[in-house]
């Protein structure tokens, strides 16, 4: 829609008429005059010229004045309102892509799937609910790297999480480096709260930074860490002659994950199946609620150059047309 920032400028539309009515007329004695015995030789020419000038000068001058008023009123084009989420929370997801994440001990929609597939299905819904938070994604294996910097674009974060593949960052697990990278990324953040959700199914087997030392650094920077241990307690493995029940999560270092969470003011969660994983994300929503305050922004495009340019064109015509008419008569 078109909006005028200074609509009071249109009150000046009567200014030329007021000047015409209130300004005292020029004195006849001050006017230059040519005394002749008779005006009959000049009557036709003078009348024709004044009539020709009156046809276009007054309307053109009036148009120029109206365009100047329109430009003074500052016409603007207001775009559609855009809701900007207001939140002070920076939230990072750190996802384990080590080889053990391919273990198929989770059930999703009636089928056995690997741990990463189950994590993607549940985490995607969690990401979409985080309206107002700046989200980021860290993937780690032998080493940790930032897949998505902090952003309000939740769809991009979900898309890049779904594109993550097991073994993409190596076969081992560098929990300490993942926490250290999160501390580095959030150190200069603008958020009031800084949260890391770390999801893994193993123990720290790679990297240069130990998990507890990384947790100490995180605590000093005010980074709260929620750790989630992924993996079932029992899984039936079938062979050619018989089947046996094994613990696929025997390598999960719950003690260290618990210590990381406690040191930073977070909590440790254990996800043994898809339902528990979904409940953990619901609990995280409760512990770190989404802020619903929003700011509305409307993009503004200034339109005053258009009437100003047209007024300039009309002014040029007012100056040039009389000279052009005189030149043609000569």
Question: Looking at beta carbons, which pairs linking 158-163 to residues 24 or more positions away fall under 8 Å?
Answer: 158/124, 158/127, 158/128, 161/93, 161/95, 161/120, 161/123, 161/124, 161/127, 161/137, 162/120, 162/124
Domain span at residue 318 reads 44-80+298-330
pLDDT digits 0-9 by tens, 95-123: 999 988 988 888 888 888 898 999 999 99
In the sheet that holds 2-4, the strands lie side by side as 2-4, 75-78, 300-302
What are 70's two structure tokens?
């329109």
The verdict on 92 and 168 lying in the same domain is yes
The verdict on 48 and 130 lying in the same domain is no
Residue 155: per-residue pLDDT? 92
Residue holding tokens 């910097």?
149
Does residue 9 belong to any structural domain of this protein?
no
Closest of 275, 253, 231, 312 to residue 60, by C-alpha: 312
Does residue 21 belong to any structural domain of this protein?
no
Q: Which residue has the higher pLDDT, 234 or 72?
A: 72
The verdict on 208 and 181 lying in the same domain is yes
Q: Do residues 49 and 56 make contact, with C-beta atoms less than 8 angstroms apart? A: no
Does residue 54 belong to any structural domain of this protein?
yes
Does residue 199 belong to any structural domain of this protein?
yes
The verdict on 133 and 265 lying in the same domain is yes
Q: Which residue has the higher pLDDT, 170 or 322?
A: 170
Does residue 163 belong to any structural domain of this protein?
yes
Inform me whether the pLDDT recorded for 237 exceeds 70.
Answer: no
> Could you tell me the CA-to-CA distances from 253 to 57, 168, 174, 273, 293 in Å, in that order?
90, 22, 13, 18, 39
Kindly report the number of other CB atoms within 10 A of residue 14's CB atom.
Answer: 10
Inform me whether the pLDDT recorded for 165 exceeds 80.
Answer: yes
Rounded to whole angstroms, the Cα distance separating 224 from 193 reads 8
The verdict on 60 and 202 lying in the same domain is no
What is the domain-level CATH number for residue 188?
3.40.50.410
The verdict on 95 and 218 lying in the same domain is yes
pTM over 0.85: no
The verdict on 139 and 263 lying in the same domain is yes
Residue 269: per-residue pLDDT? 93
The verdict on 115 and 226 lying in the same domain is yes
Residue holding tokens 């802020």?
291
Rounded to whole angstroms, the Cα distance separating 269 from 276 reads 9
Mean pLDDT, residues 134-147? 92
Does residue 27 belong to any structural domain of this protein?
no
Closest of 138, 139, 198, 137 to residue 167, by C-alpha: 139
Inform me whether the pLDDT recorded for 53 exceeds 70.
Answer: no
The verdict on 284 and 305 lying in the same domain is no
What are 93's two structure tokens?
């997801």
Does residue 17 belong to any structural domain of this protein?
no
The verdict on 248 and 326 lying in the same domain is no
The verdict on 104 and 174 lying in the same domain is yes
The number of distinct structural domains making up the chain is 2
Residue 48 pLDDT level (bands cut at 50, 70, 90): very low
Residue 47 pLDDT level (bands cut at 50, 70, 90): very low
pLDDT digits 0-9 by tens, 4-43: 888 888 888 888 888 878 887 765 445 555 565 655 555 5
Inform me whether the pLDDT recorded for 292 exceeds 80.
Answer: no
The verdict on 149 and 284 lying in the same domain is yes
Does residue 28 belong to any structural domain of this protein?
no
Taking each continuous run of H as one helix and of E as one strand, the counts in the chain are 9, 15
**Percentage of the chain with pLDDT > 90?**
28
Q: Do residues 75 and 88 make contact, with C-beta atoms less than 8 angstroms apart? A: no
């Amino acid at each position: 829609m078109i909006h005028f920032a200074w609509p009071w400028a249109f009150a000046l539309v009567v200014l030329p008429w007021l000047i015409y009515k209130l300004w005292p007329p020029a004195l006849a004695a001050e006017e230059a005059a040519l005394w002749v015995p008779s005006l009959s030789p000049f009557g036709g020419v003078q009348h024709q010229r004044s009539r020709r000038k009156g046809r276009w000068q007054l309307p053109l001058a009036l148009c120029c004045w109206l365009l100047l008023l329109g430009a003074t009123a500052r016409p603007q084009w207001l775009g559609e309102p855009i809701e900007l989420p207001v939140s002070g929370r920076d939230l990072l997801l750190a996802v384990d892509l080590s080889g053990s994440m391919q273990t198929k001990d989770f059930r999703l929609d009636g089928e056995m799937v690997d741990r990463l597939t189950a994590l993607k299905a549940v985490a995607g819904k969690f990401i979409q609910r985080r309206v107002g938070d700046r989200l980021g994604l860290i993937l780690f294996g032998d080493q940790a790297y930032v897949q998505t910097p902090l952003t309000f674009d939740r769809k991009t974060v979900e898309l890049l999480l779904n594109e993550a593949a097991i073994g993409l960052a190596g076969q081992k697990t560098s929990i300490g480096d993942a926490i250290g990278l999160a501390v580095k990324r959030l150190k200069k953040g603008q958020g009031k709260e800084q949260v890391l959700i770390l999801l893994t199914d193993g123990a720290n087997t790679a990297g240069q930074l130990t998990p507890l030392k990384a947790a100490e650094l995180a605590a000093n920077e005010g980074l709260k860490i929620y750790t989630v241990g992924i993996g079932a307690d029992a899984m039936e493995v079938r062979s050619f002659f018989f089947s046996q029940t094994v613990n696929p999560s025997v390598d999960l270092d719950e003690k260290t994950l618990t210590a990381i969470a406690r040191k930073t003011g977070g909590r440790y969660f254990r996800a043994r199946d898809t339902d528990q994983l979904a409940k953990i994300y619901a609990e995280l929503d409760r512990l770190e609620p989404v802020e619903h305050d929003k700011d509305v922004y409307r993009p503004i495009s200034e339109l005053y150059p258009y009437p100003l340019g047209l007024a300039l064109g009309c002014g040029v015509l007012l100056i040039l047309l009389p000279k052009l008419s005189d030149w043609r008569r000569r």
